Structure formats: C-alpha cells, structure tokens
C-alpha cells in the first residue's frame, strides 16, 4: 500500500513534543514533508533530529503562534522549504493554572487565550489564504476539555476550546465547495506534559489528585489520537468539510473502566500516573 500522505506538506504547530510531535511522526511515516513548530529552539532541534534519523523530510521553525508576524513567517518558511502547504494543524495549546478564575494571575490567563484562541485564528488565517489560492488544503484545529460545556477551575482553557469549536465550524461552512477541508479534532485524554506537569493555585492542588486515576482509565499514548489526525489529513476526507472527530467516546470510557477492573482482578501492577504539580500564590489586585 502506498503511503497515505505521499507528496504532501504539513505544518503542525506545537510539534516539539507531545501530541504535535506524534502527529508529525505519523504524517512523516506516511510520506509527508513536515514542518515542526514551537517556541523553544532546543526542544525543536531535538525533535527535528529524531525525525530526520527516522528518514523523515523535516524542517523546524521557532514561532510563537500568538504572534501573527511569526505565523506568517512560518508559512513562508514552509513554502520555501517544501514548495507548498497541504495540511495545517493548529495543535499548539496551553492549559494555564488550575483554580478559581478570580485567583489566577491575569498574565497566565491571557497567555492561554492568546495561545489557544489567537494562535488558532492566526494559523487558520494564514493557512486558508494559502489554501484558497491553491484551491485545496486541510485545516485541523484542536479541541479539548470543555469544548461543549463549562469546566470549573479550568475556565481559560475550556472556554478557549468552546471558541475554537465554534470558530472552526463557521470556517468549515465558509469554505465549503472550495476544495478545502476544515476539521475540528478532540484527541481525548493524551498522556503528555499537558496532563502530567500541572500548575495550580495554592490550596487547589488536592482537587487535581483524581486526575491520576483519570489518566490510568482513559488517557492514550499520543500515537493513538495521532492516527486519527492522519485519517483527517488523508484522502479519506477529500471533498468533506466540517467533520468533528472525537477520540474519547462513551464506549471507550466504559472500555477503560472494564479494563481497569479486570486488571485489578488479575492484580496487574498499576502504571505510574503520578503528577508533577507546581503551586502558585493566589492572585490579588
């Protein structure tokens, strides 16, 4: 079988680690040239070397997705490196500090909004300009916890994902019948730094403790949702737009519970799902 993304060029934001890196690896495995993006050059270069060693066509570009000029420069870099852009994944995201909205440092709150909302807007803007002139392309925007209902103590993140969902659905309609696919993708719980390295307002750390169990029951390694992101970018979705793909469904949740129960019965040792929580002083004006 020929590789699914042979000849395609993909830009994946937030791909120096975590889910973005797994998506880049799987796209590259399927023949795509990939552009890695993140703010820290150190981890970008490490990720680039890792993919290059696997024989990938890979380039890396340091950019902050909340800066339009940097996102424009990223697109220019991708075109210079590989001649075009076929797939753009707005994956970069941050979760911010866990705790009551009114006790969170405004800079932290605003960084979540800037990265998740502005980053998705700028990435979509730049990608769609390319796709419109090309008459083809696939844009994938990442959803997450809270994309359908409010989440207490994670208000910045959850409300940013509601915005991304609504924004992406409108974009999909605006670009219907243009040969452009616009998709919303909720990868479910993914075992990455975002889940394990947490920030919390002092006094709210203990509320995060159940997350260890949640990770054990339902989190997937990043390659699992990355395979779904491959499907979204592949020929399988040609001529389609507005797909909302969700990895963690009710049957999968029930499956996770049953597997955990079965593992307890068989006395299978529990995997390490420890959390690394950094505490922050409550904000005061």
Ligand X SMILES: NC(=O)c1ccc[n+]([C@@H]2O[C@H](COP(=O)([O-])OP(=O)(O)OC[C@H]3O[C@@H](n4cnc5c(N)ncnc54)[C@H](OP(=O)(O)O)[C@@H]3O)[C@@H](O)[C@H]2O)c1
What is the set of active-site residues?
157
Measured from the CB atom, is 221 or 255 closer to ligand X? 221
Measured from the CB atom, is 257 or 268 closer to ligand X? 257
Q: Which of residues 193-222 bind ligand X (CB under 6 A)?
A: 193-195
Measured from the CB atom, is 66 or 241 closer to ligand X? 66
User: Taking CB under 6 A as the rule, does residue 249 contact ligand X?
Assistant: no
Concatenate the DSSP letters of all residues of 17-58 into one string.
SHHHHHHHHHHHHTT-EEEEEES-HHHHHHHHHHHHHTT-EE
Among the listed ranges 100-108, 187-195, 204-212, 272-280, the one in contact with ligand X (CB under 6 A) is 187-195
| SS3 label, residue 146 | coil
Burial 188-204 (b: 16+ CB within 10 A, else e): bbbbbebbbebbbbeeb
CA–CA distance from 27 to each of 4, 61, 229, 247 (Å)? 8, 17, 9, 18
Residue 48 main-chain phi, psi, to 5 deg: -65, -45
User: Taking CB under 6 A as the rule, does residue 92 contact ligand X?
Assistant: yes
User: Taking CB under 6 A as the rule, does residue 17 contact ligand X?
Assistant: yes
User: Taking CB under 6 A as the rule, does residue 147 contact ligand X?
Assistant: no
Roughly how many angstroms between the first and final C-alpha of the chain, as a whole number? Answer: 61
User: Taking CB under 6 A as the rule, does residue 227 contact ligand X?
Assistant: no
CB of 197 to ligand X, least distance (A): 8
Q: Which residues bind ligand X (CB under 6 A)?
A: 13-20, 37-40, 43, 64-66, 91-94, 115, 119, 142, 144-145, 187, 189-190, 192-195
């Amino acid at each position: 079988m020929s590789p699914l993304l042979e000849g395609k060029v993909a830009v994946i934001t937030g791909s120096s680690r975590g889910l973005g890196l797994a998506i880049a690896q799987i796209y590259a495995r399927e023949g795509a040239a990939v552009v890695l993006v993140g703010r820290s050059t150190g981890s970008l270069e490490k990720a680039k070397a890792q993919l290059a060693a696997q024989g990938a066509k890979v380039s890396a570009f340091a950019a902050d997705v909340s800066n339009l000029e940097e996102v424009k420069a990223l697109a220019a870099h991708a075109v210079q490196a590989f001649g075009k852009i076929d797939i753009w994944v707005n994956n970069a995201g941050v979760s911010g500090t866990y705790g009551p909205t009114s006790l969170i440092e405004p800079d932290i709150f605003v960084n979540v909004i800037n990265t998740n909302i502005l980053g998705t807007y700028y990435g979509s803007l730049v990608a769609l300009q390319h796709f419109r002139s090309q008459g083809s392309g696939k844009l994938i925007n990442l959803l997450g916890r809270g994309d359908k209902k409010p989440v207490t103590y994670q208000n910045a993140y959850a409300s940013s994902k509601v915005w991304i969902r609504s924004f992406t659905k409108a974009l999909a309609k605006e670009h219907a019948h243009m040969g452009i696919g616009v998709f919303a993708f909720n990868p479910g719980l993914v075992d990455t730094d975002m889940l394990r390295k947490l920030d919390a307002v002092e006094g709210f750390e203990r509320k995060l403790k159940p997350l260890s169990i949640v990770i054990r029951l339902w989190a997937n390694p990043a390659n699992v949702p990355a395979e779904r992101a491959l499907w979204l970018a592949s020929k399988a979705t040609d001529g389609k737009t507005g797909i909302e793909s969700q990895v963690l469904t009710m049957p999968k949740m029930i499956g996770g519970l049953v597997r955990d129960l079965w593992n307890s019965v068989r006395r299978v040792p529990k995997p390490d799902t420890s959390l690394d929580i950094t505490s922050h002083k409550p904000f005061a004006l």
